[in-house]
Structure 1
Amino acid sequence: MGFKARNGKWAFSNTETDKYCLLQSVNIGHLEAVIHILQQPCITGVSRVCKPIPSSLPNRKTIESLTKNAVHVDIVCTLNKNPVWIIVSDRNPRYVSWFRDGKSSKGLKFRLEQVLGAAQSTQIMKPCSIVLFFSHGISDFVNEKLREEFGACQLGLEFAFDLCEELEGGEWINVVANARSFQEACVFEIKVGGTKENTVLGSKYGVERSMSLNPTGLEMMEEVTKENLDDGFDFLISEMKLSLMKVKSVDVVGPGDCIGDDDGDDFINLDTTALIAIVSGISNGCTEKLLATPEDELRKRFKGNYEFVIVQVKSEIQNPILAEMAGVIQGKRGIICESVRSEFKQLVSMCGGPNEKLRADKILKCLMVVPDSPSERMMGVPTTRKLALKNKVVFGTGDHYRAPTITANMAFVRAVSQTGMPLFTIEHRPRALTGD
Structure 2
Amino acid sequence: MDTKITAEKKIKLAEKILSHLSNIKINGCSKLQNKIKQEINFLEKCLSDNTLKEEHLVCLNLTHLQAIAYKLFILKNRCSGVMCNKILNYENGSSRKICIDLLLDEGSVWMKVIARNQKAITMVSNGECSFKQKSVLDQAEEFVECSKQNLCYYKPPKVIFSFANGVENCVADELCQIGVLVENNNNNFNDEIFNSYFGDNTNNEYPIKDLNIVRNLNLIKKMTHIKLNLGVTTLIAYVSALTNGGCNYNFKSEILQKHAEWERNRPVKPILDSLFEGKELYCCATAAKIFKNILNTLGGKSEKQRGEELLNKLIIVEDKPCDRLKIMGKVKKRSLAIFGTGEYLKAVTVTANHAFVRAAMNQGINYSVFLHESRALTEEKQLPT
Query: The TM-score by the shorter chain falls in which range?
Result: 0.5 to 0.7
8 Å contact from structure 1 (residues 50, 73) kept in 2: yes
Matched, 1:339 2:304: no
Which residue identity does 2:235 align to in structure 1?
L
Contact 2:220 2:226 in 1 (8 A): no
In structure 2, the partner of 1:140 is: 169
Tell me which of 307, 310, 326 is aligned to 1:360. Answer: 307
- CA distance 1:384–1:76, shift in 2 (3 Å): farther
Distance change (3 Å), C-alpha of 1:321 and 1:34:
closer
1:5-44 map, 5 Å: 18=38, 24-27=61-64, 28-40=66-78
Structure 1 CA distance for aligned equivalents of residues 159 and 294 of structure 2: 43
> 1:337: Cα distance to partner?
3.2
Q: Determine helix, strand or coil for the equivalent of 1:342.
A: helix
Where does residue 13 of structure 2 map in the other structure?
none
Q: Give 2:114's aligned residue.
A: 89
Deviations 1:228-258 (A, max 9, x none): xxxxxxxxxxxxxxxxxxxxxxxxxxxxxxx
Aligned 8 A contact 1:85 1:127 in 2: no
Distance in 1 (alpha carbons) for counterparts of 2:73 and 2:361: 19
User: Which aligned pairs between 1:36-435 and structure 2 lie closer than 5 A?
Assistant: 36-40=74-78, 46=80, 48-55=81-88, 69-76=96-103, 83=108, 85-96=110-121, 97-100=124-127, 101-103=129-131, 105-115=133-143, 128-129=156-157, 131-135=159-163, 138-148=167-177, 150=178, 152=179, 154=181, 173=205, 264=224, 267-286=227-246, 291=251, 306-317=253-264, 320-370=267-317, 372=319, 380=324, 384-398=328-342, 403-416=347-360, 425-434=369-378
Secondary structure in structure 2 of the residue aligned to 1:414:
helix
Q: 1:144 to 1:411 in 2, by over 3 A?
A: same
Asked if structure 1 preserves the Cα contact closer than 8 Å seen for 2:108 and 2:152, the reply is no
Superposed displacement of residue 423, structure 1: 5.2
Q: Which has the higher helix share?
A: 2
> C-alpha deviations, 1:4-57, integer Å up to 9, x for none?
xxxxxxxxxxx9x956997545421233224544533xx6xx4x5214445459
Deviation, structure 1 residue 271: 1.6
- Percent sequence identity over aligned pairs: 22
When residues 39 and 77 of structure 1 are mapped into structure 2, their CA distance, relative to the original with a 3 A threshold, is closer
Contact 1:99 1:108 in 2 (8 A): no
Unaligned runs of 5+ in 1: 1-14, 58-65, 157-163, 165-170, 176-258, 296-305
Residues 122 and 134 from structure 1, CA distance in 2 versus in 1: closer, same or farther, beyond 3 angstroms?
closer
Single out whichever of 393-402 and 275-284 deviates more from structure 2. Answer: 393-402
The CA RMSD measured in Å over matched residues stands at 4.7
Partners of 2:110 and 2:173 lie apart in 1 by 21
Taking a change above 3 Å as real, the CA distance of residues 342 and 86 of structure 1, as seen in their structure-2 partners, is: farther
Task: Determine the C-alpha separation between the residues in 2 that align with 1:260 and 1:283.
Answer: 22
Residue deviations 1:370-417, cap 9 Å, x none? 55457xxx8656654234454344345445656544322222333445
Give the superposition deviation at 1:121. Answer: 7.2
Residues 283, 316 of structure 2: 8 Å contact kept: yes
Residues 158 and 180, structure 2, Cα contact 8 Å, conserved in 1: no
CA distance in structure 1 between the partners assigned to 2:153 and 2:264 by the alignment: 40
How far apart in 2 are the matches of 1:125 and 1:266?
A: 8
Name the CA shift for 1:85/1:405 in 2 (closer, same or farther; >3 Å): same
CA spacing shift, 1:342–1:103, aligned 2, 3 Å: farther
1:314 and 1:401 map into 2 onto residues whose CA distance is: 35
Count the aligned residue pairs: 291
TM-score scaled by length of structure 2: 0.57
TM-score by length of 1: 0.51
Superposed CA offset, 1:309-336 (max 9, x none)? 2322344455554345434445544333
Asked if structure 2 preserves the Cα contact closer than 8 Å seen for 1:123 and 1:380, the reply is no
Taking a change above 3 Å as real, the CA distance of residues 369 and 329 of structure 1, as seen in their structure-2 partners, is: same
Aligned to 1:300: none
What residue in structure 2 maps to residue 234 of structure 1?
A: none
